[in-house]
Chains A and B, each alone.
Chain A
């Protein structure tokens, strides 16, 4: 058997003519040559730069990068600031805000997205019109979203003023100017922007559920509420996971929204770690501290994304 196979190979023209072998070897390598630039770019500009940032976080770089290792100083300072609550340090504010924003943003987007998807799945007339209305904010930049909501929430001109004119004079809503509440306005604008997309994800999931299962449950006498709680929502588990990953990722990367909506809030009270990183690196000349905060952000994302990607890539073995 093997002898037959060898002789067949010998008959193919490329192997019969030795002069073509360089060309054919080039042909064989061509796919790799085509992929190589992109891969090299990724290795250098993503992984190389990450290492570079990690390196900088162990130096005492201030305005300009310095390449003398000075150890964990930047991390020690961040660690110290983590417990510096009176008055709150910028880092303490940033990570507390991250906790509040991340938790509420993810939770409300998931709840609202699922709720709207279930409502839209009730054979609604005009669904084709409603869906794009819920989803369009996702096409806007965070800067536009920020500008729009800044105007809408402005106590002197926006919602508060409008309700005063309608006669509800005791209405008071100045969160956007209040250092204790400004982060919640970021949650409102963020939810406004992303919840429609989460709705679309859940809706796609709902449409993918086998109608037979639903029918069977209904025949068994399940109420609509039971149907959703016991059957539909458990079936949507993979969508919950994907949506969570998307939202967590968006939350940790949020930077523009805080800048446009609050300009950082009174005294930097709306900062997220991304804003902290930018300010310390480029404005406060604390490059090492900025790099250390970037490394912490990266580690957080790695902890969320890597297990997810690993399981996704492993699911379809070749």
Chain B
């Protein structure tokens, strides 16, 4: 008897509890969505307000008379340190640094991953382990020696410049940063490609070898055409990391014209001279965030996969 009534009772009482449960769950999820969106929202609306409205109005209110001026000012006029030519130059600095650094580190990672999985040799795991650990070191432990080396290379560049008229890019801050990001990026790119190629059928490589294909032919004709997803993941991961880097940028290009975007943004915001123009600051922050946000919106799936691959060895 009880066996029949109990499920029935549960069903009638269950409907209400279930509805309440659903409401609570959706409510909580919406609340957290607000928490995550709030700073971006505030940043965005502030960047379209006039200073007058910021000082007298509400942070969360939409701009009454939206103006694009703060964005234009941030891009072309605002002061970074003592130069007042906007952040556009620094934006391009970041691009000039990011593109080569991403391409070089990704290509090296692909080759390394290929060797480590398809041309295994004694000690391959040790080699990989050493490269992998390099991903995790706090960069503070290499910051100073690298500064010393880059300093000497810079002085050598000046000598070359004086004697033969060209320094081959030695001592150029952007070149330095590209080098630094490649050096400390190959650990991750190798990790990504190694884990991806690990699952790639070795029989295909063996078969091509038997047919007389060389090391590079196999790489170009067999591995590369099948590596699109991991290329996207790696490029996005590297792009985000290098674009967002601040430590290396401030240590090796913290002053002067080669400053990348993150350092410039920090300088804009922490400038102590004159009235602080919050709307311009927020517009500058948005400009600094746009490239990575854009990548995230366009290829979010790959972005998450990259983060996961960096977190959990596959």
Contact = CB atoms under 8 A, between A and B. Distances in A.
A256 B29 CA distance: 29
Interface string A33-56: 011011101110111111011001
Given A161-B59, A253-B139, A43 B46 contact: no
A137 interface: yes
A116 B32 CA distance: 8
Question: For the complex, would chain A's binding face be called helix, strand, loop or mixed by DSSP majority?
Answer: helix
Most A-side CB within 10 Å, residue of B25, B140, B240: B140
B42 to A, nearest CB: 6
Contact of A298 (B38, B120, B137): B137
B131 A42 contact: yes
B186 interface: yes
Contacts of B28: 119
A259 B132 contact: no
Given A35-B112, A134-B32, A151-B43, A141 B138 contact: no
Contact of B308 (A150, A200, A249, A255): A200
A266 to B, nearest CB: 15
Given A42-B186, A249-B136, A147 B42 contact: no
Contacts, number: 244
B140 A278 contact: yes
A39 B281 CA distance: 42
A158 interface: yes
Interface in B290-308: 292-293, 295-297, 300, 303-304, 307-308
B140 A260 contact: no
Contact of B138 (A42, A130, A253): A253
B42 A148 contact: yes
A259 B246 contact: yes
Interface string A133-164: 11111111111110111111000011101100
29 contacts: A31-B119, A38-B186, A42-B134, A43-B130, A50-B141, A50-B142, A119-B29, A124-B25, A134-B36, A138-B307, A142-B244, A143-B262, A144-B285, A144-B288, A147-B285, A148-B282, A148-B285, A149-B39, A151-B42, A158-B59, A192-B39, A197-B307, A204-B308, A249-B136, A256-B247, A278-B140, A278-B251, A287-B144, A306-B133
Closest 10 CB pairs of A and B: A141-B244, A31-B119, A139-B296, A256-B246, A49-B142, A49-B145, A148-B39, A52-B145, A294-B140, A46-B134
Interface of B: 25-26, 28-29, 32-33, 35-40, 42-43, 46, 54-55, 58-60, 108, 111-112, 115-116, 119-121, 125, 127-134, 136-146, 148, 183-184, 186-187, 190, 214-215, 240, 243-247, 251, 262, 265-266, 269-270, 278, 281-282, 285, 288-289, 292-293, 295-297, 300, 303-304, 307-308, 311-313
